[in-house]
Copies of this chain bind each other. A is one copy, B any other.
Amino acid sequence: MDLTSRFSGRNVLITGGLGFVGSNLAIRLVGEGANITLVDSLIPEYGGNLRSIAGIESQVRLNVSDVRDEYSFAHLVQGQDFLFNLAGQTSHIDSMADPYTDLAINARAQLSILEACRRHNREITIVFASTRQIYGRPLYLPVDEKHPIQPVDINGVNKAAGESFHHVYHDVYGIRSCSLRLTNTYGPRMRVKDARQTFLGVWIRSVLEGTPFEVWGGDQLRDFNFVDDVVDALLRAAVTPSCLGMALNLGDAEPMKLRDVAELLISVNGGGTYEIKDFPAERRAIEIGDYYTDFSKAREVLGWSPRVSFREGLERTLAFFRETLEHYTER
């Protein structure tokens, strides 16, 4: 798919634009010649980091605001061709401790972004970043899009609602939108400060800092996508009319046990240690067990499949953070 011709000169808005996926998407879209506006709240507990757009600062417009700010979005969506709607509260644990904030960001703010589009820009195309978390504990594997939506935590409930709002606005108002359900995503610019995006961030930081990390359980199967592959899927979804109104899984065909992920990470890094631990109680209550994805619908509709192997992805991630770790660990 020739994506360059589709984004060159087009106006693109990215929520969560200073976050992990958003910044990688922005860097790619700068290369495609798009006119990019990044929106980010820069709330420290979330994913935004100014460092993540180092090198492209002068080629993007940055608007610091919060997706909960309806007025800012009424303005920001105007004139945009594409909206990559990536901002979200991602921590499952935080969603249990403070369910209202999770609801405000992952559900209510999605409504107000969609209302802004309905009122001010009906021609926009939206790609929404959803999550495997909405499926809850898999009833079967691999999990396809027909799997029941049975979230096990507040974050999953609110993300499911946020995604459903996109479908309702598509079906009722004709707002062009597609939802991608992301699995564990990793790569340069990921959050390594804590486990709010994924446990893997903490693991990567630990091996680079030479400290042991903890593997909870260890036998659970999970699948992982390198961020460049996720960016590729987001771009494809934005220019594929047949995916509008759909929810599509992203994932990888080779799930691994967490214990083996730990071993691979240490092997790629050339060093590191970990301990197998029991789940902390607060985690055990919302743990989903084995999970991996059937992404055949994304392959069929978007022509997408992941290209970067886990080993190569980890190599590239470690190489990035060896140069930049201090910018991603400061408080």
Q: If the complex has contacts A99-B115, A146-B148, A149-B148, are A158 and B161 also in contact, measured as CB distance less than 8 A? A: yes
Could you tell me if A164 and B160 are in contact, using CB atoms closer than 8 angstroms? yes
Residues on B with C-beta less than 8 A from A286 are 172
Contacts of A157 in B (CB 8 A): 161, 164-165, 168
Inter-chain contact A149/B152, CB cutoff 8 Å = no
The answer for the CA separation of A157 and B163 in the assembled complex, in Å, is 9
List A residues 157-201 near B (Cβ within 8 Å). 157-158, 160-161, 164-165, 167-168, 171-172
Please, how many angstroms separate the alpha-carbon atoms of A285 and B169 in the complex?
11
Interface residues of A in 198-227 (CB under 8 A from B): none
Tell me the number of copies of this protein: 2
Task: Verify B108–A100 contact, CB threshold 8 A.
Answer: yes
A26 within 8 A of B: no
Q: Whose C-beta in chain B lies nearest to the C-beta of A70?
A: B100
A111 within 8 A of partner (CB): yes
B285 touches A171 (CB 8 A): yes
Chain B min CB distance to A115 (Å): 7
* A96 interfacial by beta-carbon distance below 8 Å: yes
Beta-carbon nearest neighbor of A153 in chain B? B168
Task: Say yes or no: is A19 at the interface (Cβ < 8 Å to chain B).
Answer: no
A215 to chain B, nearest CB (A): 23
Q: Which residues of B contact A148 (CB under 8 A)?
A: 146, 148-149
User: CB of A151 within 8 A of chain B?
Assistant: yes
Contact check, B107 vs A111: say whether CB atoms are below 8 A apart: no
Asked whether any CB of chain B lies closer than 8 Å to the CB of A103, the reply is yes
Which B-chain residue is minimally distant from A104 (CB atoms)?
B108
Which residues from chain B contact A156 at a C-beta distance below 8 Å? 164, 168
- Complex Cα spacing A115 to B286, Å: 17
Q: How far is the CA of A286 from the CA of B172 in the complex (A)?
A: 7
* A116 sits at the interface (CB 8 A): no
- A13 on the interface (CB 8 Å rule)? no
Q: How far is the CA of A100 from the CA of B111 in the complex (A)?
A: 8
- How many angstroms from the CA of A198 to the CA of B8 in the assembled complex? 51
Query: In A241-294, which residues have CB < 8 Å from any B CB?
Result: 285-286
- In the complex, the 3 A-B pairs of residues with the closest C-beta atoms, listed nearest first: A157-B164, A161-B161, A172-B285
Known A-B contacts: A99-B165, A100-B108. Give 9 more (CB < 8 A). A96-B172, A100-B112, A103-B108, A107-B107, A111-B154, A152-B171, A156-B168, A160-B161, A161-B161
Question: Can you list 23 A-B pairs, Cβ within 8 angstroms, ordered by A?
Answer: A96-B172, A99-B111, A99-B115, A99-B165, A100-B111, A107-B107, A108-B108, A111-B154, A148-B148, A148-B149, A149-B149, A150-B167, A151-B168, A152-B172, A153-B168, A153-B172, A154-B168, A156-B164, A156-B168, A157-B161, A157-B164, A172-B285, A172-B286
